[in-house]
Structures are given as structure tokens and as C-alpha cells.
Structure 1
């Protein structure tokens, strides 16, 4: 039985209202009172959690009923007068379904509580490159606590539409998922339904990443500079002056916008006009942001940390070189904890041999870099961004492929405790997806 302490606990009210006839001196003249009974509500404890588009048939089991009439209300609005009710919600939310049965001169009432989740709520997404030259990119979804990965959720919810070639990046903002492919369209989808809500058929240059600035503006990085994007009209502005060549990761803070340029280096931009405030020098992967607000990037055997207020930069030595993601750009194997000041770094050798080890640097503790935090199974390799910290439940979500290349359709989704490194779950699934990065709608 579900605990009554659950957020959506059972509220069970059965009311019997009897109206007797006029009083009489004779017992034989009293009106008979018939009280209907709800023996079982038709849903266990009257509580359920379902997804948008799911159906629940509610059929209460009754007794002591004579010539009944029925009434069903959903959030106070009458929807049916049948003896049973079929509930098929089209929007997510919390619903109260009121059931009334009137029999003779009495009435019984029961209240159902149903939480309706979005089709893609309570989980996270996996952005996939797709198989180059064979299939476009797409998106998979993992629902927390389950043992399977829902595949091709963009294509399945948008018949006749596809993403571009090598979909390398996805980011959420205001319940929208912004998807960038290296070639082909830039696509925006509703995060709850995965229905496309807009697209730009072709960017001026091959796209890399997206960064939201505010509710009206975003930035798109490409192999030749950065373009501002109007989020309302989904139209591009002119390329930002002074930033040329390939640009990868970007992060927006309350003070500056940080961008990573292959030719110009790690830059801090003025958010009002995108002018360059400071150039910190070369970097190859970025960015990650720890809970204290520090911005992190890396190059060779150096981990850089930047104070976003005063733009002071410090360097931490790491015991292996990070692999530069330029050329065959991907978001990079760098992620920050959301519960402690710690950074996760992947040890990679090349884009063809992306390694099996993930290190965790606890800020101020150099010894934390001496041994791997996580080592994935032999015969597999990290791919793309490799991993990201899930801010919802403090786990590290890791994507890997079986080697050699012919076996790259054998995927493993690993979920690890981000504090201890303990494996919580491994989920295997098949398909030439080539996962680019996990993405979380928080």
C-alpha cells in the first residue's frame, strides 16, 4: 500500500446524505433510507501517476444501489454522467476527479488524485550524432528508475521531420530543447512532448553549441564565429565582430559570457554588446561551473578555473593531457558537480580511442586526481561528451560504446553516484546512435 506521506496522498471521502420523509407517529410510515456503498474505487487507493496521452478507465465497484444516477467532475468541471469514466489527459498537471453516485435518497462521493506527467518528465535525454552518411541525429530518453532507453523520440513525435547530420549539442531553456547539428537544421522542440516548435533550415556555418542569454536572446557557436539568435522569432543576427574561426562551448553568467575559440582562445564577453573583455589564452575543452560559481576549462595537462566576478584565473596540474575537441568538435569530457565543488574530467587518447577513465578533482585536494573516480568496463570506450552530472539526483550519467568500431552499435548507459562513484545502474541498448551528450531539463 502506498504511504500516506506521499506527495499525492489518497484523499478518501465517502459521504452519505439521507433525507427522511416527514415524521410520523407510526414507525411503519417512515421512509426507507438507501445508502449506496463504494466497495472499491476502481483505482488502487484512488491514486495514480500517468503520462500525457495515457488512459485510465475508472469503474467503481458498488453495492446497495437502486436506480442510481452518476456524476463525474475533473477539477470541478462535469465531464460525464456514465457509471464509469475514461480519463485521457492531454496536459500535464495534478487532477482531482470527483465521483458522485446518487441512489434513492442518499449519495456517496469519492475523490481520486491523479498526477499527469509529461511524456518526457522524470528523466533525461541523450543527444545522438547519428551514423554519419547513414542516418541523421536524433534524441533518446531515459526515464528514472526504468531499465530501458526510449529511442528516436524526436523522429517518433515528429513524423516526416528529421534533425541534421551529426547532432552534437542539445541544451534546455524555458522548457525548450535547442538542438544543433553540424550540418543541416537548427531545431527547437518542446521539452514535455518533444514536438518541434521551430527550426532554421540551415545555419550560416556548421553549428557547434547553443547558449541562452535571456528570454529573448541566445547565441549559436559555429566553425566560423558566433551568431546571436532571437528566441522569439527564431531569426539570426549578424556574426559577432572580433571572434573568428571555430567556436565551441559557451556559458552565460550574471557578469560575463565565456566562450571558447580555437584561434582566439578562452574569452570573456561583455553581455551588453559582446565585446571582448579579456582573453585568458588557449584552451581546448570547456565549460563546467561548480556550485561556488567558478568557471572551469582545460588544455593539455592544465585545468583552468576562473572567478566570474574579477576574472582572476588559476591553474591546476592534472596527471594526463586532455584531448582537444577541435576539428572533430564535441562538447568535451568536462563536467562539474552540482552538490560539491568538484570537477569530473575524462582521460582520452584521441577521437577514435576515447578512454575508459573518469577522474574527479575535489577543489583544493590535488591527491583526488591520483586515481580514477570511475573506470568503465573493459572492451568499451567513452564517446562524445562521455558524461555529465545530473543536477536532479546527484548522479553522473555516462555513455559508452563497445569496441572495436564494428561493435559500436552496442551502447551502455551507466548511472553512477556522483559523490562516491558507486555504480547505480547499467542499461544496455542497441543502435548506431553515437551519443553526443546527456541533457537535463532542470
Structure 2
């Protein structure tokens, strides 16, 4: 960009001198042309990345300026004639800001390139249950590379609105964040702005999960079966008759939708009409999908690798119990890498919480389960669906609280580990009775 700009400025300067030369031939008494110089653009390399709502003051440093006029254009549209310009973007996008300084017959120019991101594009969400009996669920946000967690970003961006009680699940689909609470509202928000785009005030039963099926349709898992939902109108259809009982995870892959039911086990539905294709047996935790296409679930000391084309199931023995949490459902601590065929498994107690160890199972290598891949610090314990792989930067994101009860639950920590080596890259501590439910990635 710098070399292109210098060449452009040079060509303008040469043109200006050429004009000056012609003028001197015809009018020998005219004053010499003074070409304005842009000594510094006021922004390193003329490039920057900012967020919607931020501002950038562009203040070029000049020399050899004589009776100048100025022109600023944003993506070709003139926006100012002042010597300085404050850029205040209201929308995401890539912006070219043209700066021109004109003095007599001479002109110099510079081009800024600024990328504008949504406030919540560069990071991930932490969906929180909320403090039961005191406040509803909400969402926190971690911006990549920073040392703090932005708190209550749903309420802050939607004044007067709240999520439901015990918000235990969130899922991203088509740049929308779908937030499922045990009671109260099922809420949809724009993932870049966190502005609410729609809600269902109350589901027919306790809400547990959501899965997008097509751009216009999704499935909501509840304590009493599965309900199709129109994603444009947010109208619920009648409960599916093909699967019953309390529903946990739901995942779509190709021609099938896999639904985990406490009553029916893993039920495979045809995605075209939600009829039953096969029942694969009981499981407590799932689902996660590795790059080889296999879908994974778990129960006790067994992992189940499901081929989404043939529906064949491979069973892998685990040297510890992979506990589910049907009694107080959450999404569980089972997450898959997107860069290697590997699973990350949080070792918890029988209620699906507690514990400090995280294992990495390299599929096909049982020895990889013989020792923890990650161990969080002493005096801490995993909480909720605390272990999630971040596909944006090949890390493992872990949330925990201080071990114990009462005020200890207000002592939160976020850890970011390298998914290849298990090395700790970042620790961020923050305070509040959030009761973290699940990290969600945009």
C-alpha cells in the first residue's frame, strides 16, 4: 500500500510540475507552483481495523502548503472539506478514505484503508445461566487478545429486554445467536451487534437446545420432545412424533439429523421429513463432529463414533466416566477440533460439573486418553459446558469457578489453551454471579 501510494503521489507531483512548466512558458511572471507535501498520513501505513461505534481522527501532517483546499471522500462519496476528518462508521465493511489537498495547480493525495468490524466479530460469546432467583441469564463477550471480559452484552445492547431464566444453551446459525433458556424467552440476536431480532416468549416445555436445519427452519429441544421452528417468523410447529422424552443435543449432517433423547437414546431422523431412520442406543453427552465426518457422543466409559452416511457406530473405551447431566441438563464437556481428528473431553463428577482435568482423544489412538491434556489450576472447578474448541484460532476455551459454594461462584476465570500443545495462552479473571453455561463462537 505504501509503495502504491508513493507512486501515485509521485505521478501527481510530476503532473503538477508539468503544468507549472507549461504555465511558465506562457506567463513568465507567474509565481512558482508550490506542491503540497503529505509528510505523514497520521495513521501507520494508512491502514487500521476498528469496530462499529469507534472513531478514528485522520490528521495528516503537511509541508509546503500554500492556500490549500481539502477534500475527503469515503468509498467515492465526498464527506468533508476540512483539513482533518473524523471517521465514525455505523456499518461493517471495508472502507477506502481518499484525502486530497489542492494548492493552486498542484495536488497531493493519500488513500486510507480501514476495515470496520461488528462489535462482536472478533472474539467469542460466553452464555451464562444467570443467578437463579436474582437475575436472568445473559451473555458476556471476550474480544481476542484483550485482558478483560465484556459483561451483560445482551442487556447493554437491548435496553429493557432480558433473556429467560437459566440460559443454558447458545448456538450460532447464519450469523444469528440462538439463546435457549430453561424457562422464559427463546431469543435470537444478531451475532455482530447483539441486537435482538426476535423471540418466543415461552416455549411449550423447558428449553434445552437448538439446531439450525435449513435457512428457514430449525429444531428446538425441550424437556418434552422436539419442536420445529420457522426461523423467519419464529413460529413453532407441532411437536415431532418421531422422538419423545427430554431432549439434549441435536446435530444435522447430510441427510440426517441426530437427536439425543433421555428416553429414546440417539434417534436418527431423515432431515427431509423428520421421520425415524434408525435408533442408535442410549447416550448422555453429545454431539461433536470431527473433520473425518464422524459424529461423537458418550455415555459412562464409552465414546461412540457415528458414521453419518452409513450410521455405523464404533465404540471406544475411556478410562474414566464421561458424565451427562440429564437431571439439570447442560450441553456437556465434549467438543471436537476442526483441524485434526481429535476430541476434547472434560472429566467431571456425576452431576456433569466439577473436576479439573481435560483429555484430548486423538481418534484411533487410545493411548492419548491415558493422561490429561489440560489441568486447570488447583482450587478451581469446571462449570457447565465448560470445554469448547475454538475453530477461529485452534484453541481450547475453558470456563471455571472457584471450588466450593456461595461467594466462590462469583469468582470466574476464562482460560485459553493451545489446542495442539495444551499450553496455556491466556487467563482472564472476572467477578460476578454468572454461572457460565457455554462458550459460543461466531
Query: 1:35-434, aligned counterparts within 5 Å?
Result: 35-351=35-351, 354-406=354-406, 407-434=408-435
User: Over residues 227-276 of structure 1, what are the superposed CA-to-partner deviations in whole Å (9 max), with x where a residue is unaligned?
Assistant: 00101111110000132220010000012100100001111001111111
Contact 1:11-1:112 at 8 Å conserved across structures: no
Q: Following TM superposition, by how much is the alpha carbon of 1:25 offset from its aligned partner in structure 2, in angstroms?
A: 7.1
2-side partners of 1:138 and 1:328: how far apart?
18
Aligned partners of 2:189 and 2:198 also within 8 Å: yes
Distance 2:441 2:44 in 1: 32
TM-fit CA distance, 1:346:
1.4
Q: 1:25 to 1:108 in 2, by over 3 A?
A: closer
- Measured in 1, the distance between the counterparts of 2:292 and 2:146 equals 33
> Residue 20 of structure 1: CA displacement?
3.0
Q: Which residue of 2 aligns with 1:439?
A: 440
Distance 1:71 1:281, change over 3 A: same
The alpha-carbon distance between structure 1 residues 25 and 284, as it changes in their structure 2 partners (threshold 3 A), is: closer
* C-alpha contact 2:255 2:272 (8 A) present in aligned 1: no
For residues 118 and 220 of structure 2, the distance between their equivalents in structure 1, rounded to whole angstroms, comes to 28
- Going from structure 1 to structure 2, the CA distance change for 1:427 and 1:10 (only over 3 Å counts) comes to farther
Structure with the higher helix share, 1 or 2: 2
In structure 2, the CA distance between the partners of 1:278 and 1:67, relative to structure 1 (3 Å rule), is: same
How far does residue 26 in structure 1 lie from its aligned partner after superposition?
9.4
Give the Å deviation of 1:322. Answer: 1.7
Larger mean CA deviation between 85-94 and 29-38 belongs to: 29-38
Where 2:54 maps in the other structure, the secondary structure is coil
1:77-123 deviations in Å (ceiling 9; x for gaps):
11111111111001111111001111122111111111111101121
Asked whether the equivalents of residues 324 and 352 of structure 2 are also in contact (C-alpha less than 8 Å), the reply is no
Shift in alpha-carbon separation, 1:25–1:355, aligned structure 2, 3 A: closer
In 2: Cα distance, 1:323 partner to 1:94 partner: 46
Q: CA deviation at 1:21?
A: 7.3
Q: Report the Cα distance in structure 2 between the residues aligned to 1:25 and 1:422, rounded to whole angstroms.
A: 72
Following superposition, the deviation at residue 327 of structure 1 comes to 1.7
Q: Is the 8 A contact 1:333 1:385 kept in 2?
A: yes
CA deviation after TM superposition for structure 1 residue 302, in Å: 0.8
Count of residue pairs the alignment pairs up: 435
Cα shift at 1:22:
5.7
TM-score scaled by length of structure 2: 0.95
User: What is the CA distance between 1:306 and its match in structure 2?
Assistant: 0.7
Distance 1:351 1:380 in 2: 16
Q: Secondary structure at the match of 1:300?
A: strand
Deviation at 1:63, TM superposition (A): 2.0
